[in-house]
C-alpha cells in the first residue's frame, strides 16, 4: 500500500486474474482500508504446475505485512445471527478457534473475545465485530480496518451472505473457520499473498468452496505474526 494523504479511503478490491486496483475517495479521518477476499476463479487463468501439488506451507517462509497493526489486544464481539441454522455456541466456538489459532503462536495476547452482540460489521462504532451481512457477489469476506498511522483503531469482518456457509467444510459452501482464520490474519497486520507458490499458506489471497486447509497456519503465517508481535 502506498503512502497516501490523511483524508482518504482506500478500497483494496482484490480481483482474481487482474492486479488489485486502488480506489480513492474522500472521507473523514481516520483512514479506512477495506480488504475484500475474492472467490477463486480459474477460467482465463493459465496455471502450469505453479501451485505446489502438496502442502508445503511449513517450509514456506513467505509473508507480507500491512503498514499497520493493533498496538493493544484486539477485543472483539461476534454477532452470531445467521440464516444457515448455526447455533450461537457453534458460531462462537468456530470463530474463537480461528482467533486462537493465531494467539497460540505468540506470547502476546493478540485477541480477546468479549461476547455476542447484535451490532453489524462495516460500521465504525468502537466495537470490533464479526457478523454476517449481504455484500456484492465475488467477495467472500470483507475486513474493514480503520487506522491512524501504523495503529489500527477498529477492525470489523463481514461474512457475505451472498454465499452459503458451513461449519464443517462442506462442498459448495464457504467454511467459517477457514475464512475467519485468514481474516484474523489481516487483523494481525498481515497482507494477502498472490503468488501461486504461496497457495498453501493461510494468507494466500484466494479461497474456494469446501476449503479447510487455511484453518492451520504455515511457516510464513507464523513468521509474519511474530514479525508484528514477537515470539
Q: Report 37-56 residues binding Zn ion (CB under 5 A).
A: 37
Q: CA 99, CA 120: separation in Å to the nearest integer?
A: 19
Q: CA 208, CA 185: separation in Å to the nearest integer?
A: 17
Q: In this complex, which beta carbon is closest to Zn ion, that of residue 39 or of residue 58?
A: 39
- DSSP single-letter state for residue 59: G
Asked if residue 179 lies in contact with residue 167, where contact means CB atoms within 8 angstroms, the answer is no
Please work out the total of residues on this chain that contact Zn ion, with binding judged by CB under 5 A: 2
Cell digits of residue 32: 479506512
- DSSP single-letter state for residue 39: B
Q: In this complex, which beta carbon is closest to Zn ion, that of residue 37 or of residue 229?
A: 37
Q: In this complex, which beta carbon is closest to Zn ion, that of residue 6 or of residue 18?
A: 18
Please state, as a whole number, how many other Cβ atoms lie within 10 Å of the Cβ of residue 71. 12
Q: How far is the CB of 40 from Zn ion (least distance, A)?
A: 12
Output the residue with the shortest Cβ distance to Zn ion.
192
Q: How far is the CB of 203 from Zn ion (least distance, A)?
A: 7
Q: How far is the CB of 191 from Zn ion (least distance, A)?
A: 8
Cell digits of residue 219: 511457516
Q: In this complex, which beta carbon is closest to Zn ion, that of residue 154 or of residue 192?
A: 192
Q: Report 178-217 residues binding Zn ion (CB under 5 A).
A: 192
Please state, as a whole number, how many other Cβ atoms lie within 10 Å of the Cβ of residue 159. 26
Site of interaction with Zn ion (CB under 5 A): 37, 192
Amino acid at each position: 500500500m502506498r503512502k497516501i494523504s490523511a483524508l482518504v479511503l482506500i478500497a483494496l478490491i482484490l480481483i482474481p486474474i487482474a492486479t488489485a486496483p486502488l480506489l480513492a475517495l474522500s472521507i473523514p479521518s481516520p483512514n479506512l482500508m477495506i480488504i475484500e477476499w475474492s472467490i477463486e476463479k480459474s477460467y482465463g487463468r493459465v496455471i502450469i504446475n505453479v501451485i505446489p501439488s502438496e502442502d508445503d506451507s511449513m517450509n514456506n517462509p513467505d509473508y507480507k505485512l500491512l503498514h499497520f497493526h493493533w498496538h493493544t489486544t484486539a477485543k472483539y464481539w461476534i454477532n452470531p445471527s445467521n440464516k444457515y441454522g448455526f447455533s450461537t455456541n457453534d458460531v462462537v466456538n468456530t470463530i474463537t478457534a480461528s482467533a486462537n489459532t493465531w494467539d497460540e503462536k505468540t506470547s502476546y495476547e493478540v485477541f480477546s473475545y468479549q461476547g455476542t452482540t447484535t451490532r453489524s460489521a462495516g460500521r465504525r462504532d468502537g466495537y470490533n465485530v464479526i457478523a454476517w451481512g449481504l455484500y456484492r457477489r465475488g467477495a467472500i469476506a470483507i475486513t474493514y480496518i480503520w487506522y491512524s498511522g501504523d495503529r489500527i483503531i477498529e477492525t470489523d469482518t463481514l461474512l457475505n451472505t451472498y454465499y452459503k456457509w458451513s461449519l464443517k467444510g462442506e462442498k459448495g459452501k464457504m467454511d467459517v473457520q477457514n475464512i475467519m482464520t485468514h481474516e484474523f490474519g489481516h487483523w494481525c497486520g498481515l497482507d494477502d499473498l498472490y503468488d501461486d507458490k504461496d497457495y498453501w499458506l493461510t494468507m494466500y489471497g484466494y479461497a474456494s468452496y469446501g476449503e479447510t486447509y487455511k484453518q492451520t497456519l504455515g511457516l510464513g503465517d507464523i513468521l509474519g505474526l511474530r514479525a508484528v508481535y514477537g515470539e
